[in-house]
Structure 1
Amino acid sequence: MERSASDSNTIFDGEIRLAKAGVIQTSGSNGASNFYWPTSDGWIVYYGPPSAWGVSLTVADINHSGFGAVIAADKSGGGPETAYIDQVATEICYDTAPTGPHHLQIEASSNTGVTCAPATFTVRACADAACTTYYTGGVSGSLASSNGAWLWPTGASFSIAAGSSSVTLQGQLPVVGSSTLSVASSSPSATSAATCLLGGSTSCVFSASAAGFLLSAPHHVSDTAQTLTVAAVKQSDNSPSCTPAFVNTSKTVTLGCSYVNPGTGTLPVTLGGAASRVAGASSASCGSVSRSLAFNASGQASTSLRYADVGRIGLSASYTGSGADAGLVMSGSTEAVVAPQDFEFSNLPAGSLTAGVGFGLRISARNASGAVVPNFGQELTAEGVSLSHTRISPTGTGAVNGAFSGTVGSFSAGVANPTGLAWSEVGTLALTAQLTSGSYLGAGGNPSGNTAAGAIGPFRPHHFRVQVTPACGAYSYAGQPLQTVTVTARNAQNAATQNYDGSSNTSPNFAQAIRFSEVSASGLGSFSPSTWAASRFVAGVATASRPLATTLQYDFSAKESGPLTLALRAAEDISGGVSSSAGTGTEPSLQIQSGRMRIESRIGSAGSSLGLPLRLETWSGSSWVLATADSCTVLAAPSVALSGRVNGKGDTAVWTNSVSLGSFVAGRATLTLGATNPKSVGSMAVAINLGETSADSACLSVHPSTTGAKMPWLRSRFGSCASAWASDPSARASFGLINAESQKRIHERQLY
């Protein structure tokens, strides 16, 4: 986005979000930065591939006319500023669907078999050279064998359905020997030649013997007791079917293991109760061990199997005959996938956390005994963990889940230590770790793990953002409630934290009472009220607007103070609480002036109207001067008190006057009294009720009922009775009373 501001250090990002179908995605990420906009055009990039801003997007979403970005600018201070946006460009990154697989791979648990039994083969569609990702667009074709005796009991043709990446079929070499397997054809065609992965070998050669072992071991959870079944078979003399090679006898068989995926390991495989290790190795390194196996009438024997690590392991059995079995050589192999039992969370952050700020923890892949499995994450295509969050508190109709961000990253020795995890909201949460692939090495194991409910947090806002509208244009009078005051609890990305709530919509309430203060204490006064209750916060926002009397005002300790320019701070009314000081552009500037209203006495002729000048004044620091910038003061006739009517002799008189008021312009206005009715000669007191009750506080003996103007901040010290700077202005209006010419004056000054 190319943007600029009218002044430096004034305009900054408010919120920047994606919109789908014309709807702002408030549950997604707020891309707003913490930098002020430059005064000359400058570009900034928000996020970038592979980010989707925490929003699920489809092709239809992107192509919709209502897709785009929504941008809100904000400003610091109270004066007018202008934000300019010249250009906004949106870049969409996407992957095109491949038209066919990169190659096909033929897989089997072993590269050897017996002539009397078929073997199971898997045809897998690979999307890349390493076959780390799979092609799921659907493929059909057929396999071929270099040995003409090869049989395909279920047919040589295969069909991988769309949405899937593999299919199995049976193949058998009924004669002793070997055969090279291949893909005869496929549609759509693969871009590269087929590969093989037979028993961990990348060779496509499959061998068959007349006699051998058929091994079977289940895919299972690490460090659980399992059974390895070994069937000794040979081809029948009278048919191609298998018959037991050993019946009701015990044979010493060499059992072995190998690391297939990952290709290395640090823990041994226990076979028949003994660790299978390379000769001389004190630990690790798969090797072999000799065990006596008792074969039953069906030619089957079994032994125990246990592996405390994870991965795909190869299991083998071999026998070299002697004596009556001299010359007999039998072998066989299979594979088993050993998956983690679960994922454990540890090193959880202690104490309170900040919304939107990264935190760290530890995730360990464990076996059934609770020990870490070091091979997790070292697979050829590394398995990983995805995190999801569950909001524990607050609950209620006003509680939201917020967005959780961050990735676990890679595992080393079975442990991951993510550090950039963040939650956008306030409250407590629990995390779930789930195997990203959903099936460990494709064998079905899907381990997970959870933190205790509410184990992480509480989270609190990163900062408050305070926004104000002055009560009188560019400034406010001391004692005058501000027009609007809004305090928003925000996270580190400057988005509102809606769970910071003090209403009945959430439970428990995470909002706290807040206290207002000057950023730099002037010593001239204080805010009133100094605190707002936590209940003011609803969905992260506390606000008050006039005419609400308890909005917020600044009171000078002494009337003749100022003018003052201050920065307003809001902070939780607890030790170490959240404050507006942590944000950028979050503490607005306020101009406070001490003000007063004056009315001047006048003498006019009987039978005519009389205008009394009104003045609005502010304290300049040394004297009272005309408030030419006042744009808020409006006075109405019902607030004018008329009393003390006397005739020229000083006797009580009775007449009436109409009252009209003009608007204040540059601090001046006129209060016009209509002619006395009946026409009379005399004078009367005129007062302005600036309070909120029906009685004015002018230094007069009579206070007729009036409507208070509710502007007590314009009261001052008028007359001898006003010692507390809380007097209403008053004056004397005279009709037909003229001073005698004998009373000549060079200068006259009246003090009230």
Structure 2
Amino acid sequence: MFRLLLLISFLLLEQDVVAATVAFLDDFERTSLGSDWTVNAVESGASAAISTAVANSGTRSMYTRGGIVYVTSRSIDLSASNFSELSIWVRMGADAYSERPSAGDDLEVDIYLSDGSWKRVALFEGPGNSSGDIYNFSTALPDNALHANFAVRFHQIDGTSNDHDYWHIDDVTVTDYDVGPVVNGLFYDGFERAALGTTDWSISKVDSRSDSSIGTQIASVGTRSMYTRSGEIYVTTRAIDLSPYDFVQMSFWVRSGSDSYSEWPSSGDDLHAEMLLENGTWQRIGTYLGSGSTGGDTYEYYARLPTNAYHSNFKLRFHQIDGSLNNDFWHIDEVLVGHRSPALENIDHYLLTFSDQALTCNAQDVEIKACLNADCSTLYTDDVDVTLTPSGWTGSNTVTISGGTANVSLRQATTGTVTLGATSTTPAADNATQCIINGGTASLSCDMIFSDSGFVFSIPDFLAAKGATGITIQAVKKSDASEACIPAFASVSKTLDFWSDYVSPNSVGRPVSWPVVVNGVSIGASSGTATPISLAFDATGSSIIDVNYADAGQVQVDARYSGSGVDAGLVMTGNNSFVSRPAGMCVSATTICSAGDASCPKFMTAGTAFPLSVQAVAWQTDGDTDFCAGNGSTPNYSATGVGLSAAVLSPSPANSAGAVSPASYDHGAIAAGTHSVSISESEVGVFRFDVTPPSYFGYNLGVFSSEPIGRFYPDHFAVSVSDDGSLAANCSTSTPFSYSGEEITWLVAPQLTITAKNSANVTTQNYTTSGYLKLLVDDIDVANVTADSSAVDGGAVPLSITSIFNTGTLNTTSFGELTYDFSPLDLFTYTREARAEINSFTPDILMSVTDISDSDGVAMPSSPLTFTPLANMDVRFGRLWLEDSYGPEIFDVVMPLRTEYFDGTRYQINLDDSCTAYSSANASVSPTTLTQVDTSSGVVISGVSGASGLVLLAPTSVIGTPDTGKATVTYATPSWLQGDYDNNGSFEDARGTVSFGVYRGHNRVIYRKEIR
């Protein structure tokens, strides 16, 4: 008995139209199995070999016997096959030539699948209906059997040892049919619907109880299948036209019912599969037996059709021959009738020829050939559809090669290396694609390098607001500008998106963000706000742009082209940065003086900070020198260490150029554009202030100057006493002294040093130059001295002084420095009054300079400058004393005189006075009838006149006058030597009495006092 386990085909009755190749054939016409077979006898007594007992062809066949034994073929390479069949001749043993197998001594045919498993395709059961049963078995191999290590195995399941239980095998053949890989469906039904319908199937019931429909009990694929049941019934497909075809295959799935999902068919409730031949007869192609046991057996039919089935009315039908009501199910699924085209002449390989250096902006040309031989000397000239890799081929990734050659082009929007390939299905290429690159030899290396393309342009640096014109922008290979994007950008207009990015200053602290202007259009400040601008590219792939920017800084201009149409997916970018620098700087102050000389009004004290305005400005016109008139600001300009200096314009020549503080400042970006720099100039004069910015991105911007600024003048005068001076004693023949009430002058006049200073107390040397010296001698104020600072009267009241100050002299001694010399005509007089009658003392005269200020208001400090002149002398309260004198009337009488001073207790002779002069011209006598003053003069010595004095003529010498008597002599006394002789509280001239003829007394008189 023969049981179909996997698939069955029938013996072909006619010559095949499609070419076929025998991949394996063994007719066993030899004495031993050899290397094509491997025998594995599992049981003792089991064996396999070649004998002459019986054969299908020739005289020999292979047998198995005696127990469990495996006979396995060598590996058969079916990896290139699209459709192969296995055919075998099998005969059961018989006593006439061997010994028949008993029940259970079955023979199993297995095939080796690509997953490494064995699959049983047929089972021949012993005993057969009678000994010597013959089976001609043929089956199409499933797709997973078409691999390089396919094998056939015969497995005798059991047997009695020694010479029993034979199976004979002959003409084992594996045939490879030259058909294509694709099965083109002519009829298919997977039954994934609710009803069978009448379009594809017709039902003919022999038994009224029979039935056929679609159910969900079981399925091969999906969830539904067709069933037959309950009695005799025919289910037939619609007519299928097979007449145009040379190779048709058919497959379906059958499973018997089972109590787990339906009900199994009983013995005799068989299912037949039949086909309608061109002669109108039905031929059975499969018989599926009702087991009457548990059911659930699965069968798969897969075979090619014989040529007598290739007609226009081909049909397949399923015939259930019996069954009982609601029982005896057969399930059918995945019914397929399809054709395969004959295998075409194989292409050896595809050959691609190209240059491997490509640009993303251009389509790269590629020639493709379909080669029939290894050296491509012969081409496949029929049409063949080839799928090219990678994607991006112009038109389509699939191209039809006609006549053996096609020219295509590849676009890639992104950079990188791509590997080119070509594949086809009908016919397929036997070998991998080869490539000729850059005119070299053919190889399996098929890489093409797409280099980034973009825009190259170089924006020259420019003055802010002046911009740059005539800038060439070119579409090129980014790494090599000599490779232009031609023809893609040749003589066409393209719209590019432009935007700008700040390089410096960056976004942190940037006060303003002004747009860059390209071709007169303000462009966006980010890629998201890019501005489209249409550019006309010439034959070289170049265009011209103009760029301007009104501010200062380093800015990047970005350009981007986003392709569309044939350029879809292409993104080309380019960028270039430029430096926009200020054209100059406006340097100014709140006040300028165009005259630029000493006539300028006062502006600021030297050394005192004032605001200097500095503004970096943009270009206005070429040759511009006045950057404070009409130039726009560049608020983003910034620099550290901007130099500050000044040039003195007046006086000229100057004693000093002075110094600017600070010497530099940091110019930060500021929205207003103008920096107010707190600056000071140390000197007096009119100045031009210069600003020298550092290099700006490598550019020397220059030196920028203000108009004349000034006049700067001193902040104050520093006044010091360079010489305290000293008082002159009126008498210095011994111990120097002067009398109270006597005018005292300078022995050495005091001297002041007056220095013009700035606010930092530094001498302003230019102050003493012509036109800038504003201090006059009359601008020096000295306070009158009214009292001695030490000497006091008995009531502790300072002694009064009268002072007279005359105009001194003012002289320039060095740059910025003057001296003031007090006048030698200055006088100090101690007031002679009764309370001043005190002991002698050293004068303590405190001088006070109260104010020195010029016409600009430059002044000495508010506190008076005081000093005390040196006084190497005494001030003595003195008087002149005339001694009473007497003598005979016949002689002239000399009246001695002396100078005295008060020592705190009494008057005493001023022994230090050898200076006081006397003269008879200052003396008078009364009455004049007694005597007259003779002419005489002299100087006291040690305070006395000695033997000299005033000479009074003897009365006898005065004709007509009495010769004896007294007369009063009055001396016109200097005020400082007058005395309160009569104690009346007032000072008067000195007086003395002269007596003529008066007894002079005895020479032995010891003491005589004159009371008056």
Q: What is the TM-score of this pair, normalised by structure 1?
A: 0.49
Q: What is the TM-score of this pair, normalised by structure 2?
A: 0.38
